[in-house]
Structure formats: structure tokens, C-alpha cells
Amino acid sequence: MTDTATQIKEMNDTNDVVLYMKGTKTMPQCGFSQRVAGVLNFMGVDFADVNVLADEEIRQGIKDFSDWPTIPQLYVKGEFIGGCDIVTEMTLSGELDKLFDDNGVAYNKEAADKIREANA
């Protein structure tokens, strides 16, 4: 494993939820990263944000690590979940709630329901 892959694995192993994104959870720098961070923030999920714009090796390394070509990328308990479209679909279908429930990740169920109501 490369140093970058090791660094990514350690980040995923030490945090229940990790979002590799452009920018930070408080200052996203692309619309897709903003959408996923917004969902997680709104649902009250405690997550680590990794700004891929700050480190070119991580920016490319995460794409190699997941074999997924785009950013953002969401990991829960070390497992790659997907990017913006997948996270959006999972939020609207309730699958993200189930994933968090199954993995013991705390979130605000009412907030998740509000997102679904607003997009119904």
C-alpha cells in the first residue's frame, strides 16, 4: 500500500464517517461537495471532512483507493458508500438512515424526514 493509501485507510479507520470533498464542511468549494456536506450537516452527523484541494496526493489517491473517478466520496465505517448522486438517492429513499442505524452512527431522524418531505 502506498503512503497515501495508508493515510486514507487510517482516516477511514479512525472516523465513523469521512467525506472526501472539495473544500471543507463549513466552506465547500463545489456544488456536489456542498450538497453532500449539507445533507450530513443538516442531519447532525459528526463527520471528518478531508479537503482534497489542499493535497494533490490525497485528491488522486482517494480516486485510486475507491476506484471511483469523482469527488465527493463518502465513507461510513471504512466502507465506500458513493458520491453525490448515490448519497442523494440514499437520503431520499431512507437507505442512508438504515446505513447509519446499522452502523451505530448518530443522526437526527427528524431532519432526515424533513429532507424527504421537502423533496417529495
**How confident is the chain (120 residues) per 10-residue block, as mean pLDDT?**
92 98 97 98 98 96 96 98 97 98 98 95
**Burial, 63: exposed, middle or buried (Cβ in 10 Å; 0-12, 13-18, 19+)?**
middle
Would you state the pLDDT for residue 108?
98
Q: What superfamily in CATH does domain 3-118 come from?
A: Glutaredoxin (3.40.30.10)
**Annotation-wise, does 84 bind a ligand?**
no
Residues 6+ apart with CB under 8 A from 27: none
Nearest 10 degrees: Cα torsion 86, 88, 94, 99: 50
Question: What per-residue confidence (pLDDT) applies to 60?
Answer: 96
